[in-house]
Chain A
Amino acid sequence: MPENCKTISLNKMSVGQKGRIREFVVESDDCERIEEMGVTPGEQVEVVRYAPLGDPIEIKIRGYHLSLRKEEAALIQVEVLS
């Protein structure tokens, strides 16, 4: 991995930032459903917005919009692209 690539968890990303999913930090039923929705390692993701009260997050992945809570997003490690 090149030096300038930062890896952070998805809930730390700011609006408009793009990244590539690296891994889920735990394995669980819930993570499985999130992966089934297309949030799989290697896929590009963009943070579209945070809800008015700060939670959940709306992300764009595989060409569609998905919302999930910060709590779950914290389990997803993302390599920041821009």
Chain B
Amino acid sequence: MSSLTFQSTRPSLVKTVALTGNPNSGKTTLFNAFTKLRQKVGNYPGVTVERKTGTLMLAKDRVVNVIDLPGMYSLAVRSPDEQLARDVLMGRTVDTPKPDLVICVVDAGNLERNLYLVSQLQDLGLPMVIALNMMDEVERQGKEIDVARLSQALGMPVVPTVASQNKGIEKLKQIIAEGVTVFYQRGWRMAPDLEEEVEHLVRLLVQHEGMDRHQAFAEALILLSLGAKLKNEEKKAGPAQWFYKEELIRQINMVQDRLRLKGLRARTAAIEARYGWIKSILKQCVRDKNKRGEDLTERIDGIVTHKLWGWVFFLGIMALMFYMIFTIANYPMDWINAGFTRLGDWVTQTLPEGQLRNLIVNGIIAGVGGVVIFLPQILILFFFISLLQDTGYMARTAFIMDRVMSKVGLHGKSFIPLLSSFACAIPGIMSARTIESPKDRLVTILVAPLMSCSARLPVYTIMIAVLMPAATGMQKAGIMLSMYVLGITGACLMAWLFKKTLLRSQKPVFIMELPPYRWPSWHAVVIHMWERSRLFLKRAGTIILALSVILWVLMSYPRHEGLQGSDALKASFAGRMGTALEPVIKPLGYDWRIGIGLIGSFAAREVFVSTMSIVFNLDDEAGENTLREAFQAAHWPDGRPLFTPLVCLSLMVFYVFALQCVSTIAIVWRETNSWQWPLFQFVYMAILAYLAALAVYQLGRMMGFS
């Protein structure tokens, strides 16, 4: 690369702006400020794992596309999310235009390491502006950054911002509107021998591949740092691999041989040179006025990563969450239940007797209401998860759990997708994109649905209520906690098994940044909960509604004259399916009615509750009010109660392990790009669930429980 680069964009040309930068620097916060969208923000590296687009209105007739990208530490990418970010920046993605302007979001409190990526991006010669974010924290720490000087040293505009408070946004918009002029000067040099070889490689790349010099220089550095001999990889391996002409490959390998002979440490020379340059810039531009002592983050970490208190804290948080789920959530749940009951009564009184009324009352209201009633619990769950993610505690759980995960053969980073799966396996599976090793990523995806997601909450709650109606909130929370722990344990064991057998690979390295704690923005927490409720209600109003109608039809037809209640249900399509299933599930303690629930919930777990609501509404034995009472009254033909404590436990255990979620299967299909893996996952989890439930029921009986 010639040492000077002069690039300027004409204002009218800026149509696409991409946000890039290190993980956790505030890209998504800025994206949301620009586009008024509500993408997920969180205080740990790797929140965004996909490309997201939105539009920014600059003026009445001036709209710019904004792309939010996953964060990356370096252009030498290691994981699928980083790769995606790089490909978009370099214009290698088919469906996204190459950005005309790049906003590099830099964490001003962590300037030194953040500038490393900036220095790499300069090599690409992209028109770029820096959003010097988190200026509020820098000020609080008593540091002073000479922005004008920094801008001069880097050769591009630098705008101080506080994205979380919308500060600096206007200035950035102005720059987008006006376009930028950048003036890069490579301020760092490697050893002369290395520089020579790089120049040689650049010439080769320009000549053979027709690259421009910027791209060629960036590529040459990557080639230099390759440890192994370069080979043309198979096409399957993905876009990151090289497809050079044979001649070029031969030449590149010759360069590498020469370097090896001279004993030059080519791999890290550029890294060290860049950091040297960054240090010299910081010396000019940053003044640290008061040296602080121990700060808040260090005090908090003293507790939450303590040998003893760390674990107490972790379990304590979970226990508190479940306690609140069982106590506080009860009131709004009663209101919702009362609302749906009243609605059902009203419809019963208004509509004439007949199948339509039956469908509305017993199918739709019972089915949808049965699920919607759990909204308060799910909100509490999401409130806590959002706290975990927004404060910075998430990264600490990865830190304290890494040892455990390494025993299993994974690393602490896999714990983040697993914890996210407590909310829902889908974002959890997506966030596995931050895992570098493809095999480890696959293992993480395979076990993620074993973590109890929010859709299990209704099932657990109702079973626990039947299991021990008189227990205190604390006792119920304890049972719930143990279900979650069972899920985690299962996930660890299965991960271990997969790593030992199917997906052997080396132990991965674990390098993770621990961000400072930040106050969650309450605004963001509320928005997150609101978004979640919206999704939940939408799901209830669409999928669950449709399934309820289908299930009601299956449970009500064909109709037989003269049959009533339970007998009519048993003769229906669903009843016949349940009856056919009964021999298989009888060893678990379930009858055909639970069988119907199981079949229904293979589309989505919470449908179990709606199915059972419909079942017991149709099979109206005593006109019970709530599902819990209906469960308690249910019995086998010989009069034994159906939902004994052991059956409740066995059912819960079944739901801990079974993969009953069409959306998860679809997302695994997409993320693994194969149908074999989701199929495998479905089968192994079904077997696991069956065996575990069987063990609970049969061993329990042997030990004399009922």
Q: Is the CB of A33 within 8 A of B265?
A: no
Contacts of A24 in B (CB 8 A): 268
**Least CB separation from A49: chain B residue:** B305
Known: A36-B74, A38-B112. A54 touches B403 (CB 8 A): yes
**Least CB separation from A68: chain B residue:** B511
Q: Is the CB of B116 within 8 A of A52?
A: no
Complex Cα–Cα for A42 and B278 (A): 14
**Least CB separation from B298: chain A residue:** A48
Does residue B76 face the partner (Cβ distance < 8 Å to A)? yes
Q: Is the CB of A51 within 8 A of B402?
A: yes
Does residue B334 face the partner (Cβ distance < 8 Å to A)? no
Q: How far is the CB of B106 from chain A (nearest CB, A)?
A: 13
- A24, A38, A49 pick with most chain B CB within 10 angstroms: A38
Contacts of A27 in B (CB 8 A): 227, 265, 267-268
Mask: chain B, 494-525; 1 = CB below 8 Å from A; 0 = not: 00000000000001011111111000000000
Q: Is the CB of A30 within 8 A of B306?
A: no
Does residue A12 face the partner (Cβ distance < 8 Å to B)? no
Complex Cα–Cα for A43 and B113 (A): 12
Mask: chain B, 212-250; 1 = CB below 8 Å from A; 0 = not: 000000000000010100000000000000000000000
Contacts of B406 in A (CB 8 A): 55, 69
Does residue B624 face the partner (Cβ distance < 8 Å to A)? no
Q: Is the CB of B307 within 8 A of A52?
A: yes
Q: Is the CB of A66 within 8 A of B305?
A: no
Q: Is the CB of B271 within 8 A of A35?
A: yes
**Least CB separation from B75: chain A residue:** A36
Contacts of B510 in A (CB 8 A): 56, 67-69, 72
Does residue A62 face the partner (Cβ distance < 8 Å to B)? yes
Complex Cα–Cα for A30 and B411 (A): 14
Does residue A29 face the partner (Cβ distance < 8 Å to B)? yes
Known: A32-B268, A54-B403, A58-B399. A38 touches B116 (CB 8 A): yes
**Least CB separation from B508: chain A residue:** A30
Q: Is the CB of A65 within 8 A of B511?
A: no
Known: A34-B511, A68-B511. A56 touches B272 (CB 8 A): no
Does residue B678 face the partner (Cβ distance < 8 Å to A)? no
Q: Which of A11-48 contact B (CB under 8 A)?
A: 24, 27-38, 40-43, 48
Number of interface residues of B (CB under 8 A): 44
Known: A27-B268, A51-B399. A56 touches B412 (CB 8 A): yes
Q: Which of B247-279 contact A (CB under 8 A)?
A: 265, 267-268, 271-272, 275
Q: Is the CB of B301 within 8 A of A49?
A: yes
Complex Cα–Cα for A41 and B510 (A): 20
Q: Is the CB of A52 within 8 A of B402?
A: no
Q: Which of B67-87 contact A (CB under 8 A)?
A: 73-74, 76, 78
Does residue A1 face the partner (Cβ distance < 8 Å to B)? no
Q: How far is the CB of B472 from chain A (nearest CB, A)?
A: 31
Q: Is the CB of B400 within 8 A of A52?
A: yes
Mask: chain B, 454-486; 1 = CB below 8 Å from A; 0 = not: 000000000000000000000000000000000
Q: Is the CB of B74 within 8 A of A52?
A: no
Q: Is the CB of B74 within 8 A of A66?
A: no
Q: Is the CB of B227 within 8 A of A28?
A: yes
**Least CB separation from B407: chain A residue:** A53
Does residue B536 face the partner (Cβ distance < 8 Å to A)? no
Complex Cα–Cα for A55 and B512 (A): 13
Q: Is the CB of A63 within 8 A of B112?
A: yes
Contacts of B513 in A (CB 8 A): 37, 64-67
Q: Can you list 10 A-B pairs with a CB-CB distance of less than 8 A?
A: A27-B227, A33-B76, A37-B513, A48-B301, A52-B307, A53-B404, A64-B109, A64-B513, A65-B513, A67-B402
Interface residues of B (CB under 8 A from A): 73-74, 76, 78, 109-113, 116, 225, 227, 265, 267-268, 271-272, 275, 297-298, 301, 305-308, 310-311, 399-400, 402-404, 406, 411-412, 507, 509-516
List of 8 A-B pairs having minimum Cβ-Cβ separation, nearest first: A53-B403, A65-B514, A62-B112, A30-B509, A38-B113, A52-B307, A64-B110, A36-B74
